[in-house]
Every structure is written in structure tokens, then in C-alpha cells.
Structure 1
Amino acid sequence: MLAHRRALVKLWGHTPARAAAKECTARGEGIIDLTAGEIWSELAPSVREGAITAIKGNFNRYTAPIGLLRQALACKISTETAQPWSADEIAVTSGAKQALFNAALALLNPGDEVLIPAPYWTTFPTQIIIAGGRPIFIESRHNNYVPRPSDLATAITSRTKAIVVNTPNNPTGTVYDRDTLAAIAQLARDRNLWIIFDECYGAFAHPPHTHHSILSVAPNARDRTLIVIPFRNRWPWRIGYIAGPKNFISAVKALQTQTTSNPNVIA
């Protein structure tokens, strides 16, 4: 007899679609597979050489549970948000999925609601449900796939805990403008909500569009904002990170210590 939570994990439509695309490719058919966020490009020489150097140097010991690179990442986020960040506000994870799952487990109590603009990446609601929360979908098709702050506000109840902000959006590709981000941040402040800011595709915003970190637009929302980014845009080695308040990162450290422990050292 399996645990009841197993029924909460669905095989969403992109899973069989990806399998079908791989079958077509194996048969020699010309397929452009857009079912997964995987970059079809050569690994950068610096990344290959760095991994080989680490292996030859026997760099194979455990690190801190929330990984290495945290000071360098703090400097990066400081530049992107125009605010100072420290290493103890960063946790390195086994990809952005673990960062998001850590966020769900650290933030949500049973019955807590999380607002998710639709269309959405299917991992968002699944992880929220597994953590005991309830996803609330906010339709955005009628507004060029950008959620209206007024629609978000209407959906807030006494159980609402957080808003997911995913820009550039997966799957629509929509890039939220500064005014939208500022309005969402103000709403979160006014209603005491967390912002889960997933900017996994920030590097893929092309002119005339510009990607903005929500904290560069609304620095006063920092105490309630979690920033999630993977490194998969450059290499598919399942390394990501999450940035947020120190007490949140402490909770992530405790969770990660008892789940995966430190991310892959060579990666």
C-alpha cells in the first residue's frame, strides 16, 4: 500500500509529450522538442575544464549542506538588485526544483494558499500540494498573459500565504514589465504575503523586452521575497540557488541537511 501523497503527484502533459518527441527523434524524424527547458548547446570550455580540474584535484569531499559559491552568488545578486547581500542569505540547491520545493516546505502550513498566474509551470502546484498547501490559479490569458494585480487581489483570502511570480514566464515567454512587478510587490507588502520570484529564464529576455529583478523595482519587498535561479541556462548539471531572508535560509539549511545534503560538489 503506497502513501496517499503519491496520488498528489501527477504525470502532467509535457511528460508523455517529451517521451513521444524522443521516440520520433530515435526514428530519425525531424523534431524540435520544446517540452523541457534543456539547452541544446555545447558545454562552455571553461565549465568542462573546471570540472576536470576539480576531479583531478580530488575535490570530492562534503561541503556545507547549502553548498559552495554562496559569497560569489551574493555579489551577483547584489549587482542585479542594487542591494547588498551576504552569503548567509543564499542556499545552493540541486537545481531550481529543489529550491522551490524547499520554499514550499519552509513556508506552507496545511491549507495555506498560494496564488499562481496561469498558464503555469506544472511543478509549482505539484510542490505546493505535496507541502500541504493549495494552489489558486489566476487566469492571465485575457491580459496578454500578464496577471492583473486586481485579479490577484480579488483572489486573496485569510489563508493566502504567497504569490508565485515567474518571469520570463514558462510556458508563455511573457516578460513582466516594471509596473506589473511594482504592483505585485506592493500588494504583497499590503497583504503580508511572500513572493516566490522564479527568474529561471531571465537570461533569455531579448529586445525589445528587458527582464527585471523584482527587488530592483521594489527594494522594500526584500524581507518577503525569495529569488530562485538555476544554472541550467549554461550547463545542465542540476545546480541552482535560492536567496532570501536569513531566517528562511536557516530553515532551508535544516531541510536540505536531512534530504539531499550538499549539492553535487564537482558541478
Structure 2
Amino acid sequence: MAIKSYEMLADQYLLSDPFAPYTSTLLGIFACKLVYHVNHLLSAAYFKGYSGLSRLKRIEWNNRAMSTVHAIFITAMSLYLVFWSNLYSDYSDNQLKPFVTLQSSPLSTFVLGVSVGYFLTDLGMIVWFYPALGGLEYVIHHLLSIASVAYAMLTGEGQLYTYMVLISETTTPGINLRWYLDTAGMKRSRTYMINGVVIFIAWLVARILLFMFLFYHLYLHYEQVKQMHTIGQSLAFGVPPILAVMNLMWFGKILKGLKKTLAKRQ
């Protein structure tokens, strides 16, 4: 009974609010700030080496916790909306649905707002502490992400492809764990090696193979994509290829690092 009450509350007030894209963005920013400070308190209390880190290292430590929580949240929601829900399917009850490129829901729009809040917060930190938290490629990545996610959130266009790209965030927790292990002096541990293999597999699936599926889906639904606004078309046809190139470049570095790690253990 309580669960149904919460669902009714979310449907009637939170998700149906015309200001939901903006309130969800603010919620995303607030959640990032909360995770950042909670992680700082927990790390200071339970991780002995935390206090010995430099100021910038502590900032990055907390920033990566923030990105990890966002990655887990957005990956789970993206997988659900793309593969398990019926929102973006071509057919419903054996009947052809409207253009898949124009389908959205209050929940899908709200989730995108939370993600916009995260990317704005993270970009702000990257710029403020530049280049300690990431170089130019991270700035470009976040700007493209904000443009694509915000457009899909505000217009409802191309949300399917936006969520397909956001599934690639599934690699973020592994990347962050690798940094934590390195910072904690566990670079030669078995955990570090296993983590490298997991990152390689996750990156191959989520950022290489999934992007190939995305491009194939764009090809199959080309006429539907053409019905989108010019800006939406530009984002759909322009952003994924740019991100795919960046993913391939990073994949090369991951492969090189994995080979080096495995060679040291032989």
C-alpha cells in the first residue's frame, strides 16, 4: 500500500510537474553535492590514507565517488528504459507505434534531468580545477553530453539514442576503482589486474559494440530521424560518431595498459 502511495505521489507531483526537467536537474546537482560531502566524511573516518592525500587528490577522490554513483544510477535506468520497458519499442500490442525518435515519458525525461545535473556539476569542477580532474577531451565529452542530454530532455526527441549512449557510463565505476586502487598503492594486487580485465570487457561491450548497434539502429530508422528538428538530427548524426572516435582512442590506451599489467605478472 505504501509503495502504491509513493508511486501515485511521484506520478501526480514529481513527474507530471511541467518544471520537472528543471527540478530534476537541480536534484541532480544537489545529489552530486550530497554524495561528494558524504564520501568525504566516510573516507576521512574509515580510510587511513585519505588524510595523507594532497588537497587535489582528495578532491578527485570525492569527485570520482560522485561520478560512480551517477554511473550506477544512469546505467540501471538506461538499461531498463531501452531494453526492458516498452517505451522505445516499434510495436505495442502488435500495433505499430509512433516514431521511436519522438517517444518519451515523464520518467525518462526526469532521469535525463538528473543526468544533466551531474554533467553540469562535474564539468564545473573540471573547469575550476583544470587540468587536475581531466584535460580537454573531458571538457569536450561533457559539453557534448550536456548538449545531447539536455536537448532530449527538453524536447523529448531522440531519447532512445541518448539513453543508448548513456549506457556507456557502465564503464565508469571500473575506471574509478582502478584509480582508487592505484592511489591506495594496490597497483600490483590481483584486484587491480582483475579490474583491468573487467574494464576491457565492459568498454568493448558498452562503448564499442553498443555504439555499432546504435549506428545500425540509426540506419534502420533513418526516415524517422529525418522527422526530428534540424538540431536533433545534428545531435543524433554528429555526437555519437565523435564519442565513438574518442571511445576508440581511450580503448587503445586501455588495451595498452592491460597488456602492460598482464606482462608484469608473468
Task: Output the TM-score relative to the length of structure 1.
Answer: 0.23
- Structure 2-normalised TM-score? 0.23
Larger Rg: 2
